[in-house]
Structure 1
Amino acid sequence: MNFGQPRSLQARQLLAASMGLLAFLALAGYALDRAFIKTAESHLEERLSNLALSIARDGEFARDGSFVAPYDAPDARLSRPGSGLYAEVVFPNGHWDSESAQGPVLPDARMLDAGVRRFEGPLPIRELDGSPGEVYRYGMGLIWSPSRRGTAAEFPYTIYIYESTTVLAEQVAVFRAALWRYLGGAGLILLLLQGVILRWSLLPLRQVIAELKRVQRGEASRMSERHPRELEPLTESINAFIESERENLDRQRNTLADLAHSLKTPLAVLHTRLEDPATDEASLREEVGTQVQRMNDIVSYQLARAAKSGHTLFSAPIAIEPHAEQIVTGLEKVYAAKGVLCEFDLEPGLQFFGEAGDLQELLGNLLENAFKWAKSRVLLTIRQVPCDGGRRPGLLIAVDDDGPGIPPEKVALILQRGVRGDERVHGHGIGLAIVHDLVRAYKGSMDVRASAELGGARFEIRLPPGL
């Protein structure tokens, strides 16, 4: 595997989860292993303690001070030489060894104080065949106090029980074999289950990729809307890009169609004059100049319309108030003779998510139209439209004037696309059509009605929340 190459999401997730699972299993196995060893050593200590207590209970000291072992050994291995289980009794004037201890060389044993118990090991020994070995040792310090002799006959002694480490080692080996076998099997099952879960959880991503490929091949017009919540912003953004590109293409086609249709007439006039043999050079020159100027005006007009359509997705936010103040300052100078004043009703910190030129066109054309028809007052109102889901807020832009207003039956006419300025009613110019096209490009809505505050017209624009 080349770690320098980027992996798929599934491979990354599977590798990371597998490493985490292996680390967990290793730590769990180590913890269980240590816990088992501690438990086995504790059980060993308890078993050796029970053997020492059995010898102390059933054994006794003779009159000559020698130790008399129990008639029945508490463990049969104590009677078999080299069995791995040994017993030793240490007292002031000697010591006693079990039959199993005849031959092996055990560690030096010293007497312990009465009541002292000690478990230690592994300690080195030499086995019956002379090979080195290790044992665990349990020691118990006691006091021999025969009831018929009084306290003067009391003396201390210590009982030691030894057991070879091979017994515990075999138990640990059996446990470890079973532990790692079961952990390995569980790990393999979890890895397979993990792969299935990852494949299932990444299925929506594969569906998104498949849908995107269908869109690229032209088999689908947009992404579907049935996706998990985490992928909805992605699919919405893709659909927004697709729709934006489609609208740009439609706009370009419309612009070219309009340009071609507009140029047909002056071209036909030129062709007719050129084919007419009665046309003299002076009149032809004048006609060519007239039609060329007309075509130049047509091209300029269509280019201006194309430049003022559409917007860029995910634009940086623009502060609205400085642009509004700049526009109003200029308009108040132009219409100074009318004495029109513009009032602001703006929330602080308002921002426009789009192109600066689009904001200038929206506010400039609406305010210029209001200044043109107002008697003395214009009101600019801008509000933020809250939204949820972490999306950028929408905007409400309203311009009121105290002019004559617009009859409801004339609203659709003044907003028609492609109507020239001299065809508009009540002198509303091409600026309103530009505003209408921009509002549609931003997926917004435009409403024209009577102003409740100033009595004239109210142009209200609502721009929806962004992605």
Structure 2
Amino acid sequence: MGTAPTLSIHQRLLLAASLVLSAFLGFTGLALDKAFRSASEEAFQARLYSSVYALLAAAEEDQAGGLRMPDLLTDPRFNRPDSGRYAQVRDRSGDYLWQSPSSLGRDLGLIRDRQPGESKIERFKLDDSAAMGLSFGVAWEDFQGRELHYVLTVVEDLKPLQEQVAAFRDTLFLWLGGAALLLLMVQGWVLRWGLRPLREVAQALTEIESGSADQLQGDYPKELNRLTSNLNSLIRHAQARQQRYRDSLGDLAHSLKTPLAVLQSVSEGESDEQPSVRKSVREQVDRMNQIVSHQLQRAAASGRTVLTQTVPIKPVVERIAGSLDKVYREKGISWRIDIVADCHFPGDEGDLMELLGNLMENACKYGKGLVRVRAETGRDLHICVEDNGSGIPQDQVEAVLRRGHRADQQQPGQGIGLSVAADIALAYGGRVEIGAAQELGGAVIHLYLPMR
């Protein structure tokens, strides 16, 4: 089954913004529509009360002192048939005493008795259309002092109100829809502008992949600086590692020329000196093994990567010390390990094992039984390995860092330990320094590695 296409960041943000904006404008439109409808109905009801008060103000007395309405009212809608505004006056028994010319032939249906001063607004059907009416109880005193009760009713068709609310709703949602469309267009442009640095990074990576560039270059926002810096570190690491392989292969090919030439010469010669031939062959084979071992270790150095976890140093030192105790059991190595628990190596554990293994083995090999290992962190990681041997003469410091050179020719080995350590340190942007141990009297090897 095919998987659904993954939405881009731009599409996701635009979709989320569209949903939020639509929901917000939708709720806003509903709230405004409800508020307008409520305000319109309140104004409609207030107009009904105003009509009732206007009718009461226009009321007159008949010959007996009872209530009488004039033939024509000041509000022309009461005088025009089917105008949508109607008025009636009934007594307590429900009999008509008066009705406006606009309501002739209509039964408004509000026959309920009302106490003087009591009023009630009702909705009902009038000629198959919605209407709203106000019934108002009135007390009227005639000439004989009797109190007469009347019910004054004003009814108005709701169609104009409904049309007004519908027109407002159409206009409101038209404007809100236009505003939503405009805001979405602006949002799309803003997102495109805001995500442009990511597209530039992707384009730069494409150029690196095609070989037209070797680094991410450009002025990126601070949110992307860490990303581009880490990507550049990874790229530099890959380039440096590839270069180390090239250099190692070149050095290997160049270094093997002489031993191979000697072996070829020996194999083509017709000498009867078999012991000397075997010795020569063995020496050249040992030399080739030494060269191959050194170049492989040099090429395998991982170097710093931004994704490598830090490695606690003290457990690694203790593990190596335990292994070296077995190798140099006859010397009875005494260890002084001065490393705090939170001291970490910013790289690959295999590289740390190779570094410390070479330095600590040299200290065991050339020392007289006492080795001190210290480590501390600040801006840089500083690892120090000291021994109580005869030390390294100052004029041989540079030489011992070169492959195949040993300060003490009496000791067995290939002379590549410090060279491998120096290569690994260089891969991490660090360095190896050699000095004299003030306290123990032998050699001291300083390893400096940047923490960042």
**So what's the TM-score if we normalise by structure 1?**
0.82
Equivalent residue number for residue 114 of structure 1 = 116
Q: Cα deviation per residue 1:46-102 (whole Å; 9 max; x = unaligned)?
A: 111111111122224535575312565242101111111111233325333211111
Q: Does 1:347 align with 2:325?
A: no
**Which letter maps to 1:119?**
I
- How many percent of aligned residue pairs carry the same amino acid? 38
The separation in 2 between residues aligned to 1:425 and 1:143, in whole angstroms, is 133
**Which letter maps to 1:37?**
R
Q: Cα deviation per residue 1:378-413 (whole Å; 9 max; x = unaligned)?
A: 543334448xxxxxxx74433455666667665444
Shift of 1:117: 3.2
- Secondary structure at the aligned position of 1:186 is classed as helix
Shift of 1:227: 1.3
Rate the CA distance shift 1:210–1:370 in 2: closer, same or farther, 3 A: same
Rate the CA distance shift 1:451–1:157 in 2: closer, same or farther, 3 A: farther
Equivalent residue number for residue 17 of structure 1 = 17
1:188-267 superposed matches below 5 A: 188-224=181-217, 226-267=219-260
Rate the CA distance shift 1:346–1:90 in 2: closer, same or farther, 3 A: farther
Q: Which moved more, 1:207-216 or 1:289-298?
A: 289-298
Contact 1:112 1:158 survives alignment (8 Å): yes
The separation in 1 between residues aligned to 2:43 and 2:344, in whole angstroms, is 76
Q: Cα deviation per residue 1:247-301 (whole Å; 9 max; x = unaligned)?
A: 121111111111111111122224444555x556958974656645543443334
Contact 1:340 1:371 survives alignment (8 Å): yes
Q: Cα deviation per residue 1:186-224 (whole Å; 9 max; x = unaligned)?
A: 122112111111110111011111111111121111112
**Which letter maps to 1:9?**
I
Rate the CA distance shift 1:191–1:321 in 2: closer, same or farther, 3 A: same
Shift of 1:154: 2.6
1:54-203 superposed matches below 5 A: 54-62=54-62, 64=64, 67-70=67-70, 73-93=73-93, 94-95=95-96, 96-121=98-123, 123-126=124-127, 132-145=128-141, 150=145, 153-203=146-196
**Which letter maps to 1:461?**
L
Q: Does 1:439 align with 2:425?
A: yes
Equivalent residue number for residue 422 of structure 1 = 406
The separation in 1 between residues aligned to 2:87 and 2:50, in whole angstroms, is 12
Runs of 5+ unmatched residues, structure 1: 127-131, 387-393
Contact 2:301 2:427 survives alignment (8 Å): no
- Secondary structure at the aligned position of 1:421 is classed as coil
The separation in 2 between residues aligned to 1:452 and 1:52, in whole angstroms, is 113
Contact 1:446 1:459 survives alignment (8 Å): yes
- Secondary structure at the aligned position of 1:190 is classed as helix
Rate the CA distance shift 1:383–1:375 in 2: closer, same or farther, 3 A: same
Q: Which moved more, 1:157-166 or 1:421-430?
A: 421-430
Q: Which moved more, 1:323-332 or 1:233-242?
A: 323-332
Equivalent residue number for residue 391 of structure 1 = none
Contact 2:387 2:440 survives alignment (8 Å): yes
Contact 2:386 2:445 survives alignment (8 Å): yes
The separation in 2 between residues aligned to 1:296 and 1:409, in whole angstroms, is 28
Q: Which moved more, 1:11-20 or 1:365-374?
A: 365-374
- Secondary structure at the aligned position of 2:406 is classed as helix
Count, aligned residues: 446
Contact 2:339 2:374 survives alignment (8 Å): yes
**Which letter maps to 1:85?**
R
Q: 1:326 aligns with which of 313, 319, 322?
A: 319
Shift of 1:39: 0.9
Q: Does 1:397 align with 2:383?
A: yes
Contact 1:225 1:235 survives alignment (8 Å): no
- Calculate the aligned-residue CA RMSD, in Å: 3.5
